[in-house]
Amino acid sequence: MRNKGVVIHYYLMLLPGLVWLFFFNLLPMYGILMAFKDFNPGIGLLKSEWIGMENFKYMFELDDSKEIFANTITIALAKMVGNLIVPLVFALMLNEVKNRLFTRTVQTIVYLPHFLSWVIVAGIMLDLFSYSGLVNQLLALFGVEPILFFASPQIFPSLVVGSDIWKEFGFGAIIYFAALTSINPEMYEAAAIDGASQFRRLISITLPSVLPVAVLLGTLSLGNILNAGFDQIFNLYNPMVYSTGDIIDTWVYRVGLINMQYGLATAVGLLKSVVGLFLISISYTLAYRFANYRIF
Amino acid sequence: MVEDRSVPSRVLNGLNILLLVVITLLCVYPVWYTFVISLSDKAAAGAGEVFLWPKGFTLSSYEMIIADQQFFKSFFISVQRVLYGTLITLFVIVLMAYPLSKTSKQFRSRNIVMWMLIFVMLFNGGLVPWYMTMKSLGMVNNIWGLVLGGGLPVFNVILVMNFYRNLPKEMEESALVDGAGPWRTLFNIFLPLSMPVIATILVFTIVYHWNEFFQALVLMTKNENYPLQSYIRQVTVVVDPSKIDAESAKRLSSSSNQTLNAAKIFISMLPLLVIYPFFQRYFIKGITLGSVKG
């Protein structure tokens, strides 16, 4: 193999990507130093004084921190469970329908919300759930007094989780559809000849065939337990629901970029990144061990 | 497949279809609702009389948008961003994935680069250091901050790389025998064969750049530099605390911009709605490419 001459071209091909990677992915990591310094924008990051773990200590003394960590994990966990089960049940339901035109139409429509931005979805939701909005009108039919959905800390997390499931279940079902179409139809025929009912076939053939996919997705999603969905909450929340709706990412935005407490916000962000990296590594290792899943 | 024609089974199938129809309608109704609100009379919309069809049909919201300079400016910034962002991203990914698809024997540095990519995919500096870097690179109020600021989309590089790897080795060897260098091999052989995966990341990149609002919010200090989604957020989503308590909510509902906002939201999702049927088959391929592997 005439390797030497070729390798130079390989490096040339990598160059644009590596430059991009350096400036926009790697360079920001240098700023992590802010977490360990008393950052003074006037004199720059390098000259700012080291303060060790002060920012982290301060973080744990704040009342906010317990709240935002708890909110983040609660919301993320609920989303994780919902986004695992709802697409699976939906895919199984649709798989029972034999009319191709119907299934194709349904699929096309349920994929759509995934492609709408959270700005748009939030805009629509704020209108639907407003004081005189459609949802309150419907509730009025049942004699329920109008509810201020987006001002209620009790209701807010359910709105977040519910709208996330609404937006993503169709898209999440794609992978189950793929698994369902790969089931050998002869299995169903053999089972039918043996007298298995439609329900029996669902339980004994279909479900076991897609369960490994569900377990794999569940394992991989464990790495995201600190990602409760910044874009979504950022667009939906307001000061009245901070107590249940504020998550790590939104808090970092407010404290860091709005209140300009750079060091503190960087420290919280760093803690989140490190724990996240650790969790993702674990979930990938598990997925590789048990399902032979690899990303490359 | 074998049909089960017993009575309970038929009832269950009927219920199943009914439920699926309801679920599907729930997915599309909010979009439809926004559309009919945008075409309705302000007073009718405010009073909550609009459900399925526009009431007091009027195009006044759309007329107001046509007169709105900022809307068009933002729309144009978004289009620009999608255009630059997509071209650059595709170019960089296609180039980068090729050497990485080689074995570490053929290209020794491959694994180092690969680990670096995995690392930046899983770990980042966080919001504040990112902002500081962007500021020092002069990316504030600069469209390039939006185009490049998201960083290298590593996951897409890996998708394309995996696709290249699964192409038959013999093709590349015969190209080499015929005297083609790596560039020729990439552009004349690999690229045409990898159209399915290229189409997939094209879809993902376009949707990402069209929908992204947050970086723009942070990097653009002047509202006139906002792309469409950030602008839409500014006018529709940002919650004015005064709107929240019941009394003012009631007062506001009659004079609010509800129909105008609906029209803006509808127009900003229109490009997606239009191209959606065409790109559907590509993203289905993409998500299965990225997720299930033996």
Are residues B36 and B116 part of one domain? Answer: no
Please answer whether residues B194 and B164 qualify as being in contact, where contact means their C-beta atoms are separated by less than 8 angstroms. yes
Quote the CA–CA distance of A48 and A38 in Å, as a whole number. Answer: 6
Do B246 and B201 lie in one domain? The reply is yes
Token pair, residue B131, equals 């902002």
Per-residue pLDDT reduced to its tens digit, B245-274: 554 454 444 445 888 889 999 999 998 888
- Tell me the two tokens of residue B263: 């029209």
Q: What is the pLDDT of residues B12-69, one digit of tens each?
A: 889 999 999 999 999 999 999 999 999 988 877 777 778 888 888 888 888 888 888 8
Taking residues A242-266, report their average pLDDT. 90
Compare all CA atoms of chain B with the CA of A196 and give the residue at the minimum distance: B4
Domains, in order of start, for chain A: 53-291 (1.10.3720.10)
Q: How far A102 CA sits from the closest chain B CA (Å)?
A: 9
pLDDT for A180 beyond 60 = yes
B197 and B99 in a common domain: yes
For residues B27 and B150, membership in a common domain is answered with no
Q: Does B23 contact A235 at a Cβ distance shorter than 8 Å?
A: no
Q: Say which residues have a Cβ less than 8 Å from residue A142's Cβ, sequence separation at least 6.
A: none
Based on the fold, state whether residues B38 and B153 are members of the same structural domain.
no
B112 & B245 share domain: yes
CATH number at residue B219: 1.10.3720.10
> Is B114 a member of any domain?
yes
Please tell me the predicted confidence (pLDDT) of residue B253.
45
Domain membership flag for residue B17:
yes
B247: closest CA of chain A, how far (Å): 10
Non-local CB neighbours of A38 within 8 Å, separated by 6+ positions = A48, A49, A50, A51, A54, A263
Q: What is the pLDDT of residue B251?
A: 44
Residue A91 has pLDDT above 70, yes or no: yes
Number of domains chain B is built from: 2
**What does the pLDDT read at residue B235?**
84
* Mean of per-residue pLDDT scores for chain B: 85
Residues of B in contact with A239 (CB under 8 A): 241
Cα of B54 to nearest chain A Cα, Å: 14
Q: Is residue B55 part of a domain?
A: no
CA neighbor of B130 nearest in space, from B145, B147, B143, B142: B145
- In this structure, the answer to whether residues B118 and B234 fall within a common structural domain is yes
For residue B133, is it within any domain? Answer: yes
**A25 and B CB contact within 8 Å:** yes
B245 and B270 in one domain? yes
Cα distances (angstroms) measured from residue B211 to each of A207, B89, B119, B215: 36, 16, 26, 11
Are B244 and A151 within 8 A, CB to CB?
A: yes
Q: Which residues in A lie closer than 8 A to residue B236 (C-beta atoms)? A: 119, 122-123, 126
Specify whether B133 is located in the same domain as B189.
yes
The verdict on a CB contact (< 8 Å) between B126 and A113 is: no
Residue B120 in any domain: the answer is yes
A239 in B contact zone (CB under 8 Å): yes
Alpha-carbon span B41 to B35, nearest angstrom? 12
Each residue's pLDDT, cut to its tens digit, for chain B (294 residues) gives 556 667 777 888 899 999 999 999 999 999 999 999 999 888 777 777 788 888 888 888 888 888 888 899 999 999 999 999 999 999 999 999 999 998 888 888 899 999 999 999 888 888 999 999 999 999 999 999 999 999 999 999 998 998 888 888 888 888 888 888 889 888 888 898 888 889 889 988 999 999 999 999 999 988 889 999 999 998 887 755 544 555 445 444 444 588 888 999 999 999 888 888 888 877 777 666 655 443
Mean pLDDT score, A175-179: 89
**Contact call for B161 and A239, based on CB within 8 A:** no
| DSSP one-letter code for B222 | S
pLDDT for position B292: 44
Work out the average pLDDT over A101-107. Answer: 93
Domain membership flag for residue B130: yes
Cα A45 from Cα A32, distance rounded (Å): 10
Sign, CA dihedral A203-A206-A211-A217, equals: negative
Burial of A100 (0-12, 13-18, 19+ CB in 10 A): exposed
- Determine the structural domain holding residue B155 and report its residue range: 63-289
Residues B116 and B211 in one domain: yes
Question: Is residue A126 pLDDT above 60, yes or no?
Answer: yes
CB contact under 8 A, A34 and B182: no
The answer to whether A179 contacts B262, with C-beta atoms less than 8 Å apart, is no
Residues B29 and B82 occupy one common structural domain? no
A21 vs B120: CB contact, 8 Å cut-off?
Answer: yes
CA atoms within 13 A on the CB side of A101: 0
Evaluate whether residue B168 is within a structural domain: yes
What was the pLDDT predicted at B252?
A: 46
Contacts of A219 in chain B (CB under 8 A): none
Q: Looking at the structure, tell me whether residues B38 and B67 fall in a common domain.
A: no
- CA nearest A115: which of B283, B58, B185? B283
CA B134 to chain centre: 22
Q: Give the residue, A158 or A46, on which the prediction is more confident.
A: A158
Residue B200 to residue B158: CA distance in whole angstroms: 13
Whether B56 is covered by a domain: the verdict is no
Residue B148: per-residue pLDDT: 94
